[in-house]
Amino acid sequence: MGIATGLAFAHHGRKVFAYDVNPQVRATLRASRSPYRELGLEPLLRTEIRAGRFVVVDDLAELSREAQVLFLCVPTPASASGRINLAPLRGAVKELGATLRGRRDFRLVVLKSTVVPGTADSVVEPLLRQASARGPDSLGVASNPEFLAEGRMVADALAPARVVFGVCDRRSERWLRQVYAGFGAPILTLSRPEAELVKYSSNAFLALKVSFANELSRWTERLGGNVDAVATAVGADPRIGPSFLRAGPGFGGSCFEKDLRAFAHRAGELGLAARAAEAALAINREQADHVVDLIRATAGDLAGSTVAVLGLAFKPGTDDVRESRAFPIVESLLRAGASVRVHDPVAQGNFEREWRQRFGESLPPPSSCSSVPAALRAADTAVLQADWPEYVRWNARWTRTMRRPLLVDLRRALTAAAPAGLTVVGLGVGPVASATPAARSGKRSRRRS
């Protein structure tokens, strides 16, 4: 997020100085390489470094000396209880404040990290003023939440749908408007707690739309129908809109799960109930169980069977496996006695590392395959978890390598036009029960839609 944000400012003509606490990240950036897989990030990085508008520095002292506006893009992970962990942010604020001590010219520190409402007021500003010994006349503090989606961070950063400022003085607002001049996005100015609340509210609402679509998928499976047809008709209402009304195995990634848990925890601290956020989280947990039930209803007894899971990232276009639904799905399949093989074009290494951290020696990992044919060879069932383009362009040879050509399509990427010889059962496309007898006997199901 920090890299995409900085490069967007550079692209719009600002001189950007960038610092990361990890020296390996700094070295990678200096070499014009992206340390993360993100569409368009590396070409933009090369362009802006070549133009001299994006400069990587080696310490915070140089950063605070060169930059007038300093954006904090520090991780805010969740603790086991769901409460936001502000330790990395507190450390960064204290260190940055110390580098600002003794300087007279005005500096604006902008909180870009996702934090629960009230953090800028109660944590960031007091720590910053204490560490820097600066008052409001020489140091401003603002909130400016990000709304970047993984897989399209560069596009979102370059052309945001809206920019939200959280400020408490006109000078800070004026400086922020200068920073964002030329972006062409509507600017909404709020208080700092309000701006922080906008971020959490947005993620909670989007997660709720995803979870609602996932609940709809269970209806269409039971009643007979296609969840996409229903969701399209629902989303045609301008009061609702079609975005995020797409059923799948559940939401994942670095934001929704973490932010909803922190939102609910913070609500409890304030004596409030965050029922919408809690409901979205509950439905998301249930959806992974529903997926395994769908696989079992389609394929029959899983014990002793071979299942290939295609796609391990939480969505295509990224190597991020944080909160990927692949983890609970693969875990449940293994515990049901299936032999599980997995494949992903870019996220396999991250999945293996995360699996070891989650399960250690308590649950043997699935078999990682270097190619799709290796994953599908003699498989009884394939599961499409993330609809990478290479999976959607299904190769007819893959079907012939399977012991039973059966695909459970959790994204409905191949459901509408199943490849010849392949039985495809789509999540949210019913009635699922009609596929069960044929699937158990190893014969092709009549249902190909």
Task: List, by residue number, the catalytic residues.
Answer: 255
Q: Which residue has the tokens 């496996």?
A: 321
Distance set, CA 33 to CA 96, 150, 273, 429 (Å)? 26, 18, 44, 42
**Contact (Cβ atoms closer than 8 angstroms) between residue 360 and residue 326:** no
The pair of structure tokens assigned to 88 is 């990395």
**Contact (Cβ atoms closer than 8 angstroms) between residue 68 and residue 108:** yes
Q: Rounded to an integer, what distance in angstroms lies between the CA atom of residue 371 and that of residue 343? A: 7
The pair of structure tokens assigned to 73 is 């893009």
Question: Which residues touch 408 (CB under 8 Å, ≥6 apart)?
Answer: 294, 295, 298, 299, 381, 382, 383, 384, 425, 427
Q: Which residue has the tokens 């979205």?
A: 280
| Spatial CA neighbour of 321 closest among 334, 332, 311 | 311
Pairing of strands 54-56, 16-18: parallel
Q: Mind giving me the DSSP string for 58-98?
A: SSHHHHHHH-SEEEE-----B-TTS-B--HHHHHHHHHHHH
- Please, which residues bridge with residue 72 across strands? 111
Q: Rounded to an integer, what distance in angstroms lies between the CA atom of residue 210 and that of residue 221? A: 17
Q: Rounded to an integer, what distance in angstroms lies between the CA atom of residue 302 and that of residue 307? A: 8
Angle (CA) 152-78-108 rounded to 5° is: 65
Strand order of the β-sheet with 339-343 is: 367-368, 339-343, 306-310, 381-384, 406-409, 423-426
Angle (CA) 403-407-409 rounded to 5° is: 165
